[in-house]
Amino acid sequence: MKKVSATFTSKGQLVIPAELRRKHGIKAGTKVCFLEDQFGRIILQPVTEDYIARVRGCLAGGPELVKSWLREHREEGERRG
**pLDDT tens profile 31-75:** 998 999 999 999 898 888 887 777 776 666 566 666 777 788 788
Q: Following DSSP, what letter does each residue of 52-71 receive, concatenated?
A: HHHHHHHHTTS--HHHHHHH
Contact between 14 and 6 under an 8 Å Cβ cutoff? The reply is yes
pLDDT score of 81: 67
For 71, the domain range is 18-80
pLDDT score of 57: 67
In a domain, 13, yes or no: no
16 band by pLDDT with thresholds 50, 70 and 90:
very high
In a domain, 58, yes or no: yes
pLDDT score of 21: 92
pLDDT score of 39: 94
CA 63-67-69 angle, to 5 degrees, is: 95
User: How many domains does the chain fold into?
Assistant: 1
Please state, in angstroms and rounded to a whole number, the distance separating the CA atoms of residues 23 and 34: 19
Please state, in angstroms and rounded to a whole number, the distance separating the CA atoms of residues 22 and 30: 12
